[in-house]
Amino acid sequence: MKEKFTKAMFAGSFDPITNGHLDIICRASKIFDELQIGVLYNPNKKGLFNFDERIELIKSCTSHLDNIKIVSFDGLLVDYCDANGISTLVRGVRSEADVNYELQMAHMNKELNPEIETIFLPTNTKYSFISSSLIKEVLTFDADVKNLVPEQVLIALKNKHKGREL
Ligand code: PNS
């Protein structure tokens, strides 16, 4: 019997991608045949990095992985997955608080489309406290975040900081 080609989705805002995201991406890419990284397109929500910048940063941080596809979506995530043959949503969980929030989302997504499963990957402990928002916050005070984000992101963050956009 032919084995099924498995496609999964790791979605988020990625403003910007962090080492925590990257850790989940690398691990999930080993589990599935194809991992799509879905960047939420929301023109009404202005982040630090614009949509194209986020995608470029993800692209450059994941270029060593050969089964990654970077895509954008708006509307419901499960609708995008349904239309593109994706059966699994991957979510990273850092803490008990994350589990509560993520469970709520997983149940809602299951309600919206029972065919699509969510799987949780526990974050690597060394990244368990990282979030894009916290990184942006501490960087406004010139904190050193070099262990928390990929090098390309660090450079991009410093450039934004210089331009006082943080
Ligand atoms: O960066 P985040 O906050 O972890 O990303 C959350 C995201 C983008 C995965 C979630 O908000 C989402 O799926 N948004 C698309 C709209 C949708 O499907 N909402 C229902 C979620 S239960």
Per-residue model confidence (pLDDT) at position 108: 98
pTM for the whole thing? 0.95
94 catalytically annotated:
yes
Ligand 1 contact, 81 CB (< 6 A): no
Active site residue 133: no
At 114, the pLDDT band (50, 70, 90 cuts) reads very high
Catalytic residue among 45, 64, 162, 164: 45
pLDDT at 163: 66
Query: What are 33-76's pLDDT values in tens digits?
Result: 999 999 999 888 889 999 999 999 999 999 999 999 999 999 99
Q: How many other CB atoms sit within 10 Å of the CB of residue 146?
A: 9
When pLDDT is cut at 50, 70 and 90, the band that residue 140 belongs to is confident
Mean per-residue pLDDT over the chain, rounded: 94
Q: How many angstroms is it from 162 CA to the middle of ligand 1?
A: 31
> CB of 112 closer than 6 A to ligand 1?
no
Known catalytic membership, residue 64: no
Summarize the confidence of residues 17-31 as an average pLDDT.
Answer: 98
Catalytic residue among 7, 21, 54, 91: 21
Q: Is 108 in the pocket of ligand 1 (CB under 6 A)?
A: yes
Looking at residue 42, its pLDDT comes to 87
Instruction: Give the model's pLDDT for residue 83.
Output: 98
What is the rounded average pLDDT of the residues 144-154?
A: 96
Best CA proximity match to 18, nearest among 140, 122, 120, 152: 152
- Position in ligand 1 atom list of the atom nearest CA 76: 18
For residue 109 and ligand 1, the question of a CB distance below 6 A is answered with: yes
pLDDT of residue 164: 62
What local confidence, expressed as pLDDT, does residue 1 receive?
56
